[in-house]
Amino acid sequence: MFRKLPGDEARNLVTTTPDTAIVFRPAVVKTPALLTLAIWIWRLLASVIRIVWRHPILAGLLSAFTVCWARYGHLVALITADAVLTTALVWAALDWDSFRRLVGWRVLAFGRWLWIYRRHWQPVMTVSGLGRHLRGRDYLPRLLKVRCDGWADHVTVGMLAGQAVKDWTDRIDHLAHGFAAPSCRITVTAAGRLTLTFPRRDPLAAPIPALPIPDEVSVGPVEIGRREDGGPFRLKVHGTHVLVAGATGAGKGSILWGTVRALLPAARAGVAQLWALDPKRMELSYGRALFGERYAADPAQCADLLEAAVAVMQERADRFAGVRRTHVPTTEDPFVLVIVDEVAFLTAYQTDKQLRYRTLAALATLTTQGRAVGVGVLAALQDPRKNVISIRNLFPDRIALRLDESEQVDMVLGDGTRDNGALADHISPIPERGAGVGYIRLETSPEPVRVRAAYVSDTDIKDMVTEYAGGDR
């Protein structure tokens, strides 16, 4: 049973019960209207100054047109604008290159900055996770500059404090699709600054015919194709070693034959020698006459030829010791380029263990000691795994053509290169679109560059043999 308490006791019971509910009310700070207006005006002036500083030509033209309209009326302003436009058209017709360099790319950069990047910057950064929205405020990376050239937009970005480059490389697909670009490449330009490269078109989409055989005698760098930015693709072979990796049909032969084609004048002059190892008996055998006695196809002959190259290297090293540290090609000491078509067949797939050991030992010796005395190695393979070729890290310069797996890109070019945009596993398997296309990473430049090697056809090889070997097939 319940007993009813007297009134005073009931009141004492209620009032003495502790109240554990605590209500937190945020402090409200009222900003004076004048201060808010001053901040808004300051931001507006800063934006105007920034636009004028980055786009001086466009800002100057707009300012001149506005002043002319205000002082002399709209008719004079329109006539002046028409005169400026006519002058620009005449300039473009007479000297398109200078007009494009000084005016065209700047106008295009301003238009794409305004319509593409500035307009979509906040949603792309927020949705991709590179920006943050906290307590009603957006924290976004800074869009610093947009520069255009003939094939791509180069967007300079200031990272947020605390961000890492990997935060951006993990989101290259978000950035490419967010700004309607086929791909995105990331380059670190300074501490806290990145350059995002968004291609507008693919200048390497069409096959490149074989380049003319050079007239001058030179051991390189040899021009064998074109880079994505439109410049020549020159491959250094003297003073380095080059590893080319690519799946079947990726265009490894374009690299090999393009190099041979560019070195033919030097070989005829006696300042270069081409040594060929062709264990598949398919690629290099078509131009066998160009190599003479320095051609091998049988695994035992390949091992003998490699050991002969080691003997040449060691003899030169003995003569150069204490005399000179770099090699200058001469007829007495020509540059020796050892070309191996499928190196994995000799180092991994060969059933004779003794031949595998001899081959691998000779290649390791050449790649560690050869370039200082003028002996270089140009090797091609399909499978870049470590258990296939354990000496891949001894090649300072590497080229990744079309590969089957994403992990193979880093195996060939080095850790992190695929995250930076070297998507060799995305190259088209259609020969007309993807054969000879790849990414090159040089010892002197860690950033991968997209290139395409010119296609050297069977007819081109036959003509090379006829002219430089005196043969006829």
Residues 6 or more apart from 254 whose CB is under 8 A from it?
A: 224, 225, 435, 436, 453, 454, 455, 456
Q: Beta 397-400 vs 437-442: how paired, if at all?
A: antiparallel
**73, part of any domain:** no
Q: Is 451 helix (H, G, I), strand (E, B) or coil?
A: strand
Would you write out the chain's pLDDT as a tens digit for each of its 473 residues?
A: 445 545 555 455 444 555 555 555 666 667 788 888 888 888 888 878 877 777 677 777 788 888 888 888 878 888 888 888 888 888 888 888 888 888 888 889 988 998 999 999 999 999 999 998 777 778 899 999 999 988 899 999 999 988 999 899 889 989 999 999 988 989 888 889 999 999 998 889 899 999 999 989 999 799 999 999 889 999 999 999 999 999 988 999 999 999 999 999 999 999 999 999 999 888 898 889 999 899 999 999 999 999 999 999 999 999 998 888 889 999 999 999 999 998 888 887 777 889 889 999 999 999 999 999 999 999 999 888 766 678 888 999 999 999 999 889 999 998 888 887 888 998 988 888 889 999 999 888 778 899 999 999 999 999 999 998 854 43
**174, part of any domain:** yes
Is 436 within 8 Å of 455 (Cβ atoms)?
Answer: yes
CA distance 106 to 88: 14
CA distance 27 to 22: 15
Please tell me whether residues 175 and 290 are part of one structural domain. no
**28, part of any domain:** no
Please tell me whether residues 259 and 316 are part of one structural domain. yes
CA distance 173 to 406: 14
**428, part of any domain:** yes
Please tell me whether residues 255 and 169 are part of one structural domain. no
**432, part of any domain:** yes
Please tell me whether residues 404 and 265 are part of one structural domain. yes
Count of beta carbons in the 10 Å neighbourhood of residue 88: 15
**What pLDDT does 387 receive?**
65
Q: Beta 142-148 vs 152-158: how paired, if at all?
A: antiparallel
Provide the H-helix boundaries in 348-419. Answer: 353-369, 407-413
Count of domains for the chain: 2
Q: Any idea what the Cα angle at residue 115 is, between residues 110 and 119, rounded to 5°?
A: 120
CA distance 83 to 100: 19
Please tell me whether residues 328 and 415 are part of one structural domain. yes
**45, part of any domain:** no
Residues 6 or more apart from 434 whose CB is under 8 A from it?
A: 250, 251, 402, 427, 428
| Structure-token pair, residue 249 | 């049909």
CA distance 40 to 281: 74
Domain that holds residue 157: 88-201
What residues does 199 pair with on adjacent strands?
Answer: 152
Please tell me whether residues 197 and 227 are part of one structural domain. no
Please tell me whether residues 287 and 397 are part of one structural domain. yes
**What pLDDT does 20 receive?**
56
Is 410 within 8 Å of 403 (Cβ atoms)?
Answer: no
The one-letter amino acid code at 307 reads E
Please tell me whether residues 229 and 370 are part of one structural domain. yes
The CATH number of whichever domain residue 276 belongs to comes to: 3.40.50.300
The one-letter amino acid code at 29 reads V
Measure Cα distances from 315 to 278, 326, 370, 383 in Å.
25, 15, 11, 33
Nearest 10 degrees: CA dihedral of 82, 83, 88, 94? 130
Please tell me whether residues 305 and 335 are part of one structural domain. yes
Please choose, from the candidates 416, 415, 417, the residue with its C-alpha nearest in 3D space to the C-alpha of residue 440: 417
Please tell me whether residues 150 and 257 are part of one structural domain. no
The CATH number of whichever domain residue 179 belongs to comes to: 3.30.980.40
**66, part of any domain:** no
Please tell me whether residues 343 and 228 are part of one structural domain. yes
Please tell me whether residues 255 and 186 are part of one structural domain. no
Is 409 within 8 Å of 422 (Cβ atoms)?
Answer: yes
**59, part of any domain:** no
